[in-house]
Amino acid sequence: MPAGDDPGKNYWTAGIESPKTSMWRTIYISLVRAVDFMLAQPEVDPKRIAVVGGSQGGGLSMVAAGLDHRIGFCHPGFSGLPRLDWTVKYQPGYWPFGMDKKPVGQTEEQFLKTLSYFDAANFTQDIRCSVAAHVGMMDTVTASGNQICALARVPRGLLYMACSPWAMHGAGARAGIETAACYDRFLKGEKPILAPTKP
C-alpha cells in the first residue's frame, strides 16, 4: 500500500466514522460501475454476468447481486461482510472489524449503525439470480453462522448452499465441487441449480 494518507490504506476502516465517508460506500458503488463497464464491452454476453468471490470477495458478490439485477449468477464462498454486528460484538470470526476499530467519540450503538449500512445481510433479500454458496463450518475468519444468516435471506428457490463440516477459511472443503458445478452449468447456459431428485 502507498505510504502516507492514501485513501486506500487501511480501506476497511477508512472513513468509518460515517456511512457517507466510509470507503465501503465507494467500494459498493464500484461494484455496479464494474457491471456497467463489462456490459459496455461488445464481447460480453449480458445474459452471462456472474459474480464470484471468496472471503471479502464472497461478501462483495452477495452485495453486487443484491444491488444489480443484471447479474445472472452469484457464487460466494467463505464470505466476509455478513452480520458485521455479531463480528464486532461477539467475535465469531474477526474480519474485518472488531470493537477496537470504533472511532473515538462514537458509542457502540452509533458504530453498529454505521456498519449496518454495509452489512451483506442487508442486500441478500434483493438478489434475483441463482446463488451457489459454499460455507466452511469451522471458519474462524468469517464465521459460518454469519454467512448462513445472510444467505437465509436469499429469496426462495434461488439458493444452493453447501456446508463443509470440517472446512476452515477457504481450505479443507469438498463441497466446493458441488457449487462449482452450478457455476459451470451457468457458464454453459444451463440452469445452475437443479431441482432435487425424488427418491
The mean pLDDT value for 32-43 works out to 96
The pLDDT assigned to 44 comes to: 94
Omega cis (within 30) before 46:
no
The confidence score (pLDDT) of residue 58 equals 95
Q: Is residue 96 predicted with pLDDT exceeding 80?
A: no
64-68, 99-103, 178-182: segment of lowest average pLDDT: 99-103
Predicted confidence (pLDDT) per residue in 65-92, tens digit = 999 999 999 999 999 998 888 888 877 7
User: Residue 173: what pLDDT?
Assistant: 61
Cell of 182: 452450478
Q: What is the pTM of this model?
A: 0.90
- Identify any residues that bridge with 53 across adjacent strands, giving them in sequence order: 76
Q: Does the pLDDT value for residue 2 go beyond 60?
A: no
pLDDT for the residue numbered 48:
93
Could you give all domains of the chain from N- to C-terminal order, each with its CATH number?
46-187 (3.40.50.1820)
Task: For residues 190 and 117, give the distance between their C-alpha atoms in angstroms, rounded to a whole number.
Answer: 35
User: And the C-alpha cell for 173?
Assistant: 472443503
